[in-house]
Structure 1
Amino acid sequence: MVLIENLVDTVANKPISPKAGESAEGKGMCGSRRCVIKTLWIGQELSVLEQLSLRSFLSCGHTVELFVYQNVKNVPSGVRLRDAGEILDESLVFRHKRGGGVSGFANWFRYVLLLQEGGMWVDTDVICLKPFDFQQRLVFGRQDTYMINNAVLGGQPGEELFRIMARQAESPNTRLPYDDIKERRIKWIRKYLQRNRRNNIKRGENGPRGITKAINFLGLQQLALPYTAFYPIHPKCWDAIFDSTYRDVEKFFPESYAIHLWNEMICNGSGIDKNATFAAPSLIEALKSRYL
């Protein structure tokens, strides 16, 4: 695959209003209004899980924009559809060589989108519990003590964090100033011996692991919200959403703005049908009762 030169520079050099890092109202990420929620779907239809995510944000008073490359079935009423080709052409969509997932492309897409437009990105396995009314310049949260996740990510257009991550996702084998010797060696091998492709990156390289490194490099780690904000359920406990462990939403998640349901774990050979009805009481059924 031939890398697309200067794509990020082209986006970055477009007129940006307001000034990078500032909101139109001078009040941070969302100002006096609720954030516009933006997300992407690649595929022909939404499962119940994705419908639940979109409906939860609509129910909390947010405008929701869903970027698509084709007609998609089961899109909830009230969701605003947008052409994903406005951000990255469909010809650039790639699937990971191991597993065939599109998470690597989705990461690239969100960084270019946020660099160009700003706003609030959420993955379609994030369930909103209360309105996103953040006043800080950038919004992201920890998934544990060490790792920052990018399933919820917001900010103003032109942010340096988005610029760095868009470059990394577009050209994953380009050396970064914070790469260690091992990472530089891996990138050299991939660039010169493995055809310089985007689809053979390591898991999380342009996702949580990559953005955590960039945030630390930029000295922005103090802006990270605690894990309770978006990731109150640890990824190792992902299957607890389907049993009675967290059935009482108010009791277990009083400080949470949202719950990430770890779709990647669900789809990674778990055998779970996202359209199924699960035993009650369970977290997933409690959320479905609230929003569907």
Structure 2
Amino acid sequence: MGDRLGPVHAACIRSFMRHGHDVVLHSYGRPVDTPDGAAMFDASALMRPDEIIRHRATGSLALASDRYRFRLLKAGMGVYVDCDIFCLQPFPDEPYLYGLEQDAQVNGAVLAMPADSKLLQDIMSATEDDFFIPPWSRNTLRRLWSLRKAVGFPRHVADQPWGTFGPQLVTYMIQKNTLMETAQPIDIFYPLHFQQTSLLAQPGLRIADIVTPRTLGLHLYNQSLKGLQPAAGSPLNEVIQS
């Protein structure tokens, strides 16, 4: 959304094309700095603008973004990746592709799963429900929200804790479907912890210093980049200049 990607997102798109991937940017209009060679897809074909929901307390678009990526997978449109994933090696062609960001939590910034899979069906039953009740919530809260839903006063996901459709949901459903063994190890997509993103602005470091030889993509955690300056000789500057 918006008329400009910004230098980090544009560099990430270029990184996938550089490694031989066909890139399709889903957007409600073509950003002026879209890299040459990236195809465009009208996002309104999968999510009308009037369907976009924001988290009420923060204004975040995460709920809409999470819902959208699963519709993309249901449509059989390939591997979904956030625009803040910097590609370092070609991604494998696997039916299930996602990775751990912590020892027991899967992140959804890189996602692939069969369109007809039980996993995707279970996830979409949650993300298409505006009044979804997270099954990992405390018993007392689940009972309260279930009662409110039963009597016609449900709690909208926009009023629930941030990230209701995010990594917690993805991890829960992968565990429910006994597919945790298909999750890639932490260093494949998430070698940089989201609380360590200041390393990206450190002069004297390179991307090679914060990844492993088998890292395929580096998640840059866009929300944590705000305020960071891409100093010369820093990993973030290396991303932008690539």
Question: Could you state the TM-score of these two structures normalised by the residue count of structure 2?
Answer: 0.90
Q: Deviation of residue 207 (structure 1)?
A: 0.6
Q: Amino acid of the residue matched to residue 164 of structure 1?
A: D
How large is the Cα RMSD of the aligned pairs? Answer: 2.3
2:42 maps to 83
Q: How many residues align?
A: 241
**Residues 102-141 of structure 1 aligned to structure 2 (within 5 Å):** 102-134=61-93, 136-141=94-99
Q: Amino acid of the residue matched to residue 98 of structure 2?
A: F
Q: Which runs of 4+ in 1 moved over 6 A?
A: 176-179
Structure 2 CA distance for partners of 1:181 and 1:253, relative to 1, 3 Å: same
Structure 2 CA distance for partners of 1:255 and 1:245, relative to 1, 3 Å: farther
What is the alpha-carbon distance in structure 2 between the residues aligned to residue 157 and residue 63 of structure 1?
A: 19
Q: Deviation of residue 51 (structure 1)?
A: 0.3
What is the alpha-carbon distance in structure 2 between the residues aligned to residue 165 and residue 284 of structure 1?
A: 33
Choose the corresponding residue for 1:259, options 207, 218, 225.
218
Choose the corresponding residue for 2:176, options 208, 211, 217.
217
Q: Give yes or no for contact 1:174–1:187 (8 Å, CA) kept in 2.
A: no
CA displacement 1:115-141 (0-9 Å, x = unmatched): 22151000011100011123x320110
Q: Give yes or no for contact 1:112–1:162 (8 Å, CA) kept in 2.
A: no
What is the alpha-carbon distance in structure 2 between the residues aligned to residue 194 and residue 241 of structure 1?
A: 45
Q: Amino acid of the residue matched to residue 259 of structure 1?
A: L
Choose the corresponding residue for 2:18, options 51, 59, 67.
59
Question: Could you state the TM-score of these two structures normalised by the residue count of structure 1?
Answer: 0.75
Structure 2 CA distance for partners of 1:118 and 1:189, relative to 1, 3 Å: farther
Q: Give yes or no for contact 2:174–2:180 (8 Å, CA) kept in 1.
A: yes
1:24 maps to none
CA displacement 1:24-75 (0-9 Å, x = unmatched): xxxxxxxxxxxxxxxxxx2221111110111110111111111112342211
**Aligned with 1:119: secondary structure?**
coil
Q: Give yes or no for contact 1:178–1:217 (8 Å, CA) kept in 2.
A: no
**Residues 192-231 of structure 1 aligned to structure 2 (within 5 Å):** 196-231=155-190
Identity %: 25
**Aligned with 2:10: secondary structure?**
helix
Structure 2 CA distance for partners of 1:225 and 1:64, relative to 1, 3 Å: same
Q: Deviation of residue 156 (structure 1)?
A: 2.4
Q: Give yes or no for contact 1:119–1:156 (8 Å, CA) kept in 2.
A: no
The alignment status of 1:282 with 2:234, answered yes or no, reads: yes
What is the alpha-carbon distance in structure 2 between the residues aligned to residue 200 and residue 231 of structure 1?
A: 29
Q: Amino acid of the residue matched to residue 11 of structure 2?
A: L
Structure 1's unaligned 5+ residue stretches are 1-41
Q: Amino acid of the residue matched to residue 279 of structure 1?
A: A
**Aligned with 1:53: secondary structure?**
helix
What is the alpha-carbon distance in structure 2 between the residues aligned to residue 44 and residue 195 of structure 1?
A: 36
Structure 2 CA distance for partners of 1:189 and 1:239, relative to 1, 3 Å: farther
Once structures 1 and 2 are overlaid, which stretch shifts more, 187-196 or 58-67?
A: 187-196
2:117 maps to 159
The alignment status of 1:147 with 2:105, answered yes or no, reads: yes
